[in-house]
Amino acid sequence: MSMAHNFEPDHSLSKEELDKCSSKPGGDAFENPFHEPEYGKPPEPCILVILGASGDLTGKKLVPALFNLMREGNLPTNFICVGVARRPKTVEEFRSEMSSQITKHSRTTPDESDLFAFSEKLFYYQLEFQDDDAYNNLNLFLKDLDKNYGTRGNRVFYLSVQPTYFLPIIKQLKTHSLIYDETHGAPFSRVIIEKPFGHDYDSAIALQKNLSNFLSESQIYRIDHYLGKETVQNLLVFRFSNSIFEGLWNNRYVDNIQITVAENIGIEGRGAFYEGQGLTRDVIQNHLMQLLSLVAMEPPINLTPDAIRNEKVKVLQSLQTIPLSDLDRFAVRGQYKEGYIDGDPVSAYRNEQNVDANSNVETFAALRLQIENWRWAGVPIYVRAGKRLPKRSTEIAISFKKPPSILFHKNDRLNIPNQIIFRIQPNDGISIKFNTKIPGSAAIIQPVNMDFQYASYFGKEVPEAYERLIHDSILGDSTLFARVDESINSWRILTPVLDHWKNRPLQPEEFYPAGVFGPKIADHLPNSEGRKWKPV
Ligand code: BG6
């Protein structure tokens, strides 16, 4: 892709293609996406087919999520899950493997009878993804299950496979009639696609064009597990159900917004994946951009999936690409060297398994972004994410402008602005920082926090993100899935940055020892504008 790219929003998709993205046949079925499952529409019977069932995600996340959905009565009564993968395996082997994965990874402690009841819903089907005939046989297999378990032909296909397989598999599913055209009253067939959706702006558009030959937009569920997190969903509730904050939520009062997605883990054995992706594609393009659009969007006209996503995409469309001349100033990357995490030595990225000894891949990135709309013009958005940082912490900090200094200017502590902080994880909650007077005769000011924590307030276990998302895909509620124009607009901003980094070898100042908050040069982003990163 050439740097001469204009990166105007989505012009490479025709109007018709764009229309397909934003209005779905059958309309927005759900009035209220924040439905409590137990009060909502009961899910229709269906078969969930996991393609790539021998991967980590199935055992660690997907199957434990299904188990908890069943336990809490949120699966359809007639429900079957079929694991599909290349390895030959008997159904008994698959059930026993999944039972031990549930025991290891479920958020609730399983008991024997629930495990048994759940494993009865599991089946296994061995298939080579390129094998034409195998899809015919899979179709017959699923139809047999329909007959025996009353699943009525409804299908959700979960593509937990390498992105290069997305298209070939979907093409086969469509050719062999496992995916149907959407017709009112007919069984449904939906496809959940794991990230990454494309590799850059051009490839995301190409992928979408190809996918739309086989699927309508309303059949595609682009999963971003951040959207399944309770605290992420609560951003909307906080913003649009509390009128006291709305008047402040704009460039008149907000000085800057900071979003941090910090992890202390490294790449967890995913060297080959990381070499092809890097941190920006892995975390910023999807998770962090989703947080940004939720925190900055306008109120939607109602709570239907498209009304919410229309507003989110407008934020992404209003994001300015960083001018080429400012890329070095406003986009910083880093890669971790050896260092210490919680006192334990950890190795450098370049020494991880399956990583090139001269790798140019970033494990940290920080950007200074700008939303050019009426609400946010002039408010810098500083975002950063990284691996092997000192701790795991995802948060959004809204810092408000300082009051005129005439009254309390001698007091340095007033330099801490009022802030609203959304802690996405850990200790999910919200805090508001404001100034108070320390008791005594002197007017000494101290910032204090008013703090709210979900766990202690509600005393309720928070469901795993995958539970909510799988459940919604069965219900046909796409609110918490990324629409194609969200993904493409996110690439529009990030592709020039990635292109800029691609052919430049990492410089010494871009390395950081594991256990610190990225390379020192990342501090320039806010410092050069008289601000600082908020400590997390
Ligand atoms: C995944 C990334 O999408 O999100 C991982 O591929 C990252 O690299 C993970 O560690 C973070 O998710 P969470 O839920 O632990 O914040």
Domain positions in the chain: 36-222, 228-405+420-435+449-527
The two tokens of residue 454 are: 């979900």
Residue 440, pLDDT score: 84
Q: Whose CA is nearest to atom 7 of ligand 1?
A: 283
Cis peptide before 426 (omega within 30 of 0): yes
What 3 state SS string does 58-85 have?
HHHHHHHHHHHHHHCCCCCCCEEEEEEE
Q: Does the Cβ of 428 fall within 6 Å of ligand 1?
A: no
Say which amino acid occupies 462: V
Q: Does the Cβ of 464 fall within 6 Å of ligand 1?
A: no
Cα of 263 from ligand 1 centre, angstroms: 8
Atom nearest to 465 CA in ligand 1: 14
Atom nearest to 195 CA in ligand 1: 3
**Separation in Å, CA 130 to CA 32, 169, 294, 305, 373:** 41, 8, 39, 35, 47
Q: How far apart are CA 287 and CA 468, in angstroms?
A: 16
Q: Does the Cβ of 282 fall within 6 Å of ligand 1?
A: yes
Class (C level, CATH) for 228-405+420-435+449-527: alpha beta
Same fold? 36-222, 228-405+420-435+449-527: no
Q: Whose CA is nearest to atom 8 of ligand 1?
A: 282
Mutate to test the pocket of ligand 1, among 105, 193, 225 (most ligand atoms within 8 A of CB): 225
Q: Whose CA is nearest to atom 13 of ligand 1?
A: 226
**Separation in Å, CA 272 to CA 59, 162, 268, 350, 381:** 21, 12, 11, 12, 31
Atom nearest to 273 CA in ligand 1: 6
Q: How far apart are CA 189 and CA 156, in angstroms?
A: 6
Cα of 426 from ligand 1 centre, angstroms: 13
φ, ψ of residue 270 in degrees (nearest 5) = -100, 45
Q: Does the Cβ of 486 fall within 6 Å of ligand 1?
A: no
Mutate to test the pocket of ligand 1, among 287, 291, 536 (most ligand atoms within 8 A of CB): 287
Q: Whose CA is nearest to atom 15 of ligand 1?
A: 263
Q: Does the Cβ of 263 fall within 6 Å of ligand 1?
A: yes
Q: Name which of 60, 49, 194, 61 is nearest 123 in CA terms.
A: 49
φ, ψ of residue 364 in degrees (nearest 5) = -145, 145
Residue 513's DSSP bridge partners are: 337
Mutate to test the pocket of ligand 1, among 195, 282, 425 (most ligand atoms within 8 A of CB): 282
Residue 203, pLDDT score: 96
Q: Name which of 535, 525, 521, 497 is nearest 280 in CA terms.
A: 497
The two tokens of residue 401 are: 């402008």
Q: How far apart are CA 55 and CA 338, in angstroms?
A: 29
Cα of 262 from ligand 1 centre, angstroms: 10
Q: Name which of 238, 221, 252 is nearest 294 in CA terms.
A: 238
| DSSP-assigned letter for residue 260 | E
* Residue 470 CA neighbour count, 13 Å, CB half: 30
Mutate to test the pocket of ligand 1, among 232, 283, 291 (most ligand atoms within 8 A of CB): 283
Query: How far does Cα 397 stand from its chain's mean position?
Result: 18
Cα of 283 from ligand 1 centre, angstroms: 7
The two tokens of residue 132 are: 């034409």
Atom nearest to 224 CA in ligand 1: 3
Q: Whose CA is nearest to atom 6 of ligand 1?
A: 282
Q: Does the Cβ of 224 fall within 6 Å of ligand 1?
A: no
pTM, two decimals, is 0.90
Residue 23: other Cβ atoms inside 10 A: 13
Q: Does the Cβ of 510 fall within 6 Å of ligand 1?
A: no
Cα of 518 from ligand 1 centre, angstroms: 17
Show which residues are catalytic.
287
Atom nearest to 261 CA in ligand 1: 16
Cα of 224 from ligand 1 centre, angstroms: 10
Rounded (to 5) percent helix, strand, coil in the chain: 40, 20, 40
Sheet with 393-400, edge to edge strand ranges: 445-453, 429-437, 419-425, 393-400, 254-262, 380-386, 364-370, 331-337, 511-513
Say which amino acid occupies 233: Q
Q: How far apart are CA 517 and CA 535, in angstroms?
A: 9
Helices and strands counted in the chain (H then E): 19, 17
Q: Does the Cβ of 200 fall within 6 Å of ligand 1?
A: no
pLDDT tens sequence for the chain (536 residues): 333 333 443 444 554 554 444 433 333 333 333 333 333 567 899 999 999 999 999 999 999 999 999 999 999 999 999 999 999 999 999 999 999 999 999 999 999 999 999 999 999 999 998 888 999 999 999 999 999 999 999 999 999 998 999 999 999 999 999 999 988 788 999 999 999 999 999 999 999 999 999 999 999 999 999 999 988 999 999 999 999 999 999 999 999 999 999 999 999 999 999 999 999 999 999 999 999 999 999 999 998 999 999 999 999 999 999 999 999 999 999 999 999 999 999 999 999 999 999 999 999 999 999 999 999 999 999 999 999 999 999 999 999 998 877 666 655 555 678 999 999 989 899 999 998 888 887 777 888 999 999 888 888 778 899 999 999 999 999 999 999 999 999 999 999 999 999 989 999 999 999 999 999 999 999 999 999 999 99
Class (C level, CATH) for 36-222: alpha beta
